[in-house]
Structure formats: C-alpha cells, structure tokens
Amino acid sequence: MRQIIAAIVLGLAITSVGAADVEESTVLSTLDKTHPRLMLKDTDLKLLKARCKSDPILQKCVADLIKSAESSMKKPPLVHKKIGPRLLHVSRDCLRRTYCLALAWRWTGEKKYADKAVENLLTVCAFKDWNPSHFLDTAEMSHAVGVGYDWLYSYIDEATRKKIRDGLIKNGLAIGVAGYNKKHWWSRSSHNWNQVCNGGLVAGALAIADTDPQYARAIIPQAVKLLPLAIRTYGPDGAWSEGPGYWHYATRYTAYGLAAMETALGTDFGLSEITGLSEAGEFPIYTTGPTGMYVNFADSGTRAARGPMGCMFYLARKFKRPSISDAEHDMIARRSATPEHVMWYVPSSGKKTVRDLDRLFRGSVPLAVFRSSWDDSDALFVGIKAGYNQVNHGHLDLGNFEMDAMGVRWSRDLGSDDYNLPGYWDSRRDTGKRWRYYRLNSQSHSIPLINGANQSANGVAGILKFEASRPQPLVVIDLTSAYKKAASKTARGLKLVCDRKAVLVQDEFELTGEKGAEITWAMTTDAKIAIKSKTLAELTLDGKKLTARILSPSGAEFAVESAEQKSPQKSNKGVSRLLAQVKGAKGAVRIAVLLAPAWKGFTPPAAMQLTPLGKW
C-alpha cells in the first residue's frame, strides 16, 4: 500500500503532541495483573448484565451477539490461505470469531463457546506465520489472539496458555518489536495502517504483559509516540482523509488501542486529548445521506453505506457525547449489533439531537455537506470534497460531488476497484499505474474535465468559501492546482437553491492554451438519461425523476456516455455519465448546470441569474 507519510513531512523528529512521554522501565508500573484486563473487565461486565435486565436495546445487542456466536460455531477451521499478497481476511475472521465466541462465553457461561474460541486460537497460533510482509494481517491477528487469551484466561489451562502465548510472540509481537527497531513505515504512517498496526500490537502485548513484560515495555512506548501521527489527522473536527469507509477501520483500531491501555494500565497517556478525536463520531453521521449511503470518496466499497459501528459507543462514552451514541442506537435498532456494542454499551439519553443542516469538515481532505432535512428520508443531500489527490487511498477526484433526493442517489462515486489489480498502489505522480484504472482516475468522477485529461495526481484543492444555515448554502473550491496544465485558474461552486430543492453546480476556468479546448461537466449516475434538448436532460431512477439543465454557456450541449468497463476492472454495469460539453473553449469559461429533483408541486426555473464565483 502506498506510504503517504504526510506527518513525517511535518517533522522527522516524531513528537507526541497530546500524549505523555512513556519510559520502558515504568510503563507497566500501573499494570492490572488480573485477567481479563483488555477493554471489558469483569466488574464492567457485571454492571452490563444488571442493566440488561431493564434495557431492551442492550438486550437486542446481546441477542445479536449470541446469534453471531452460534454462527461462528458452525464455521470451518481457519486456514492459512492468502488472497493475493494478503492473509487479512483470515485475521479478520479470527477477530470476529474471537470477539463473538469469547464474549458469548463470558456472558452465558456456556463452555461450547469457549471451546470453539480456544480451538480457533490454537489453530492460528500453529500457523507458519501471520504474513508479516503485509503487516496489517499480523497486527489484526495479534489483536485477535491477545483479546482471546485475556478473555478466556480463566477457562484455559497453563499448557494451553503457553501455546497461545508462544504463537502470539513468535508470529506477532517479536516481529512487531523488530519492525519498530527497523523503523518500518507502517508504524510511522499518518493513515489507517498506523492505528491498526500500533493498536493491534498494543492489545497483544498487554494481554501477556504479566508473563512476558518485555514486549509491552518495547511496544507501548513506541505506540504512544507514533499513534499521534495518525490521530492528529482527525483534526480539527473529526474528519478522516481516507473517506468514511476507512474512517471506521482507523477509528475502530484507535478505540481498541486506547481502550486496552485505559483498562490495563489506567491511562491512554493523553492520546485521547489530541484535537479532533473528540469530534470524530460526527463524521460518519454527517457524511451519510438520506439513502443511507456515504459520501463515498477514496477507496470505499461500491455503494458504501453506514452500518452499526461499536466504536461509536466508545467515542460517546469517552467524550461524553450522547448525540453520537443516540445516533448509533437508531442504527442498531434496525441492524445487527456487534460485540463491541455490548462491550462499550452506552444507554440512550432519551433526548432528541438537533444537528446543523450544513457542515464543513476542515481536515486535510475538506468536505462540505448540505441537506434539506434530517428527518425526511426523501430529503435533498449533497456532499462535495476538496483535499489532495495523493492522500492514501485517494482518487483523482477533487471537486467530486454526490447527491441524494427523493430516496435516490443521483450522483455517485463508483468506489474502489480490486486491490489486487497490477499497479493498483502505484500512484507516482501522473505516470502511476493506479491512474490507468477507471474507478480511480478522473474520467469516472463527477468533476470537470479539460480535453478529457486526468487531474494532476499531485493536485491540491482548498475551500475558498463556505456559507451555511441560510436558504442558499454554498461552497466554493479552488481547483487550480488540479488543472494547472490547461488553465491558470479553475474553481467549482456548489449551491443549494430554490429553497433547498435544487442544486447548482458552477465551474469557472481561465484557459491558457491558444487552441480551443473541450470542457466537460460530468455526473456519474445509475439513472437512465433522456436528452430532451441540447440543454435539458431528464434522469429516471427507481421511478423518480430529476432534470438537469445547462444554464451557461449558450453553446454547451448535453451528451451521454457509458461508464461500463471490461475485465479485469469492475464492470460498472448500467452506470452512465451525463456530460455537458463545451467545444473550442478559450479564455474565461463558465459552465453551470442546475439539478432539480421532480418534487411534487415544484417547477424548476428554466433560467437563473448567474453570479461569478468570486461574488458568491
């Protein structure tokens, strides 16, 4: 995976802003030497069982846990079999089984769950390795085995404990310590690898810190020093540069690592005080549209949708944010809860949360979101991103927007492609093989194109203006860096108009070439597109309709192209691109398109008075 270590650029002498210095000699001075000590102690479990008698949501969480444990009982033995260069699916399967089975045993006392969990642990501890060449695999397996060992400690005999400890040390912790000593890039990255690798090793090391303290003494100080490189990425307001999909992966492991230190050592060494983390729980809430789908930037899955996430309860509890846990209650009322929902359970506040309709996340990948309502599943919703194209898991998509209305996602990001495609992680400037793949390059995104070319792979886009809480909320993004080969200035504005019933997307260019250029405004959609005239198109999806109208310039025309691709890329079957094209463009060019859902009783305007973006 690409090693975009932005935090190191800020200073190779790694500092721990927001975290205390930790000495190897004293790091375990506060260790709770009893078991279990990771995440959920027996005293907390006892309190949960008492609450469960009168809390129907917690009762549902426990029922979901037992159902998942029963499912895990029926699964075949874990096998060391890689997919491409990764063993990650096996590590994650082991982790899921361990949390479900071990917690089910702790809750019910039924030995069948413990027996199956121990069987899984012994199986993976007998593996030849945990695939350290792709260290996420090793870190997640270390986490799984560490938690399993700790939670099942009182059930297993010393001979079995030793087998598990030996496997954890040989395949996980010893390799992790060597990685720190060699300053492997994963420990010092500013993206999800940091939290997963450091957090996984922390859990494994603390699990056996009473019998083999040397590993915790080596790992905990390093993790405390290095985790801020990634945690600072949440600043200033909780956003995650790798997109909402990877927000969950990164944040879940942040929670695992910090919670393990809190319960085992009584402190997270100030890591939770780093700016942005306390706000992180709002990011997946705001970036989920009324359809349930995320603003799907970076390598998120196809039609990635928000699901139950136990780390939301951790964040709500840690930072006393009932608005976050209450939103998660709404989620688990409709979907299956995870073991982490039981482990970090927070009861409902019983109060209604009032959120802003519009929000700007100002992190390294700024994101603006707008909506007409929080309570209407048919509401209008738009998300648009800025940032930089070289962000980990990034696409060439600065200015990309996604739009929900009438219960339908009209403009969408196609998501990631197959990680095992040749050169998928080669993002070297404009020549990287990554940019040859359709889903990752500019031709698949709802962004402007000049002569059909990709944005610069090193392009950076910032927010010039954002105005919220008004009838016409808006954002203006400076895209100049992404199109500098063809234009001296490029900007995109997006505004909700007609009392938040329609969306205006307006692009402005200062073209530099003497030859005329082809400018294309583009929107990727699952809708069927009917061109009604040169400047009017009608989109139909799930029985709903939306009209697109070119407001400027006078010579622009609509066209349609297919987004379908040939194997080995994903096919994008049925996906189309609505294009508004201007040919032979020179000098100053403005292209503006109005997107108007066919709301009952609403007639969109055939023309609008347009204002230059500089005067928005």
The CATH number of the domain holding residue 244 is: 1.50.10.100
Residues 402 and 540 in one domain: yes
- Torsion, CA 201, CA 203, CA 206, CA 211, rounded to 10: -80
Q: Of 343, 378, 401, at which residue does a domain stop?
A: 343
* Beta bridge partner(s), residue 489: 510
Residues 439 and 571 in one domain: yes
pLDDT above 70 for 596: yes
pLDDT above 70 for 11: no
DSSP letters for 306-347:
----THHHHHHHHHT-HHHHHHHHHHHTTS---HHHHHT---
Q: Are the C-beta atoms of residues 376 and 264 closer than 8 Å to each other?
A: no
Let me know if residue 501 belongs to a domain.
Answer: yes
CA distance 110 to 98: 15
Let me know if residue 98 belongs to a domain.
Answer: yes
pLDDT in tens, 249-276: 999 999 999 999 999 999 999 999 999 9
Residues 38 and 150 in one domain: yes
Let me know if residue 272 belongs to a domain.
Answer: yes
pLDDT in tens, 36-64: 999 999 999 999 999 999 999 999 999 99
The CATH number of the domain holding residue 535 is: 2.70.98.70
Residues 291 and 376 in one domain: no
The token pair at 291 is: 């359809």
Residues 259 and 404 in one domain: no
Phi-psi region of 490 (alpha: psi -120 to 50; beta: other; left: phi over 0): beta
Give the pLDDT confidence score for residue 128 in this predicted structure: 98
Give the pLDDT confidence score for residue 14 in this predicted structure: 37
Q: Of 309, 343, 377, at which residue does a domain stop?
A: 343
CA distance 252 to 281: 11
Closest CA to 454 of 489, 426, 417, 482: 482
Total count of domains within the chain: 2
The token pair at 573 is: 């079957």
Let me know if residue 279 belongs to a domain.
Answer: yes
Q: Are the C-beta atoms of residues 414 and 491 closer than 8 Å to each other?
A: no
Q: At what angle do helices 42-52 and 56-73 cross, to 10 degrees?
A: 120
- Domain span at residue 409 reads 359-604
CA distance 495 to 467: 9
Q: What is the pTM of this model?
A: 0.94
Let me know if residue 188 belongs to a domain.
Answer: yes
CA distance 590 to 580: 12
Q: At what angle do helices 135-151 and 192-207 cross, to 10 degrees?
A: 30
pLDDT in tens, 437-458: 999 999 999 999 999 999 999 9
pLDDT above 60 for 15: no
Q: What confidence category does residue 428 fall into, taking pLDDT thresholds of 50, 70 and 90?
A: confident
Residues 559 and 411 in one domain: yes
Let me know if residue 613 belongs to a domain.
Answer: no
Residues 263 and 229 in one domain: yes
Let me know if residue 21 belongs to a domain.
Answer: yes
pLDDT in tens, 123-162: 999 999 999 999 999 999 999 999 999 999 999 999 999 9
pLDDT above 50 for 16: no
Give the pLDDT confidence score for residue 18 in this predicted structure: 53
Residues 542 and 483 in one domain: yes
Residues 172 and 56 in one domain: yes
Helices (runs of H) and strands (runs of E) counted in the chain: 15, 18
pLDDT in tens, 65-122: 999 999 999 999 999 999 999 999 999 999 999 999 999 999 999 999 999 999 999 9
Across the chain, mean pLDDT equals 95
Q: Which residues of 553-579 are buried (b: 16+ CB within 10 A; e: fewer)?
A: eeebebeeeebebeeebbebeebbbbb
Q: Are the C-beta atoms of residues 574 and 588 closer than 8 Å to each other?
A: no
Give the pLDDT confidence score for residue 7 in this predicted structure: 34
Q: Of 290, 316, 343, at which residue does a domain stop?
A: 343
Q: Are the C-beta atoms of residues 411 and 402 closer than 8 Å to each other?
A: yes
Residues 500 and 556 in one domain: yes
Q: What confidence category does residue 300 fall into, taking pLDDT thresholds of 50, 70 and 90?
A: confident
Q: What confidence category does residue 20 fall into, taking pLDDT thresholds of 50, 70 and 90?
A: low
Residues 419 and 303 in one domain: no
Residues 331 and 383 in one domain: no
Euclidean distance between the first and final Cα of the chain, in Å? 40
Let me know if residue 616 belongs to a domain.
Answer: no
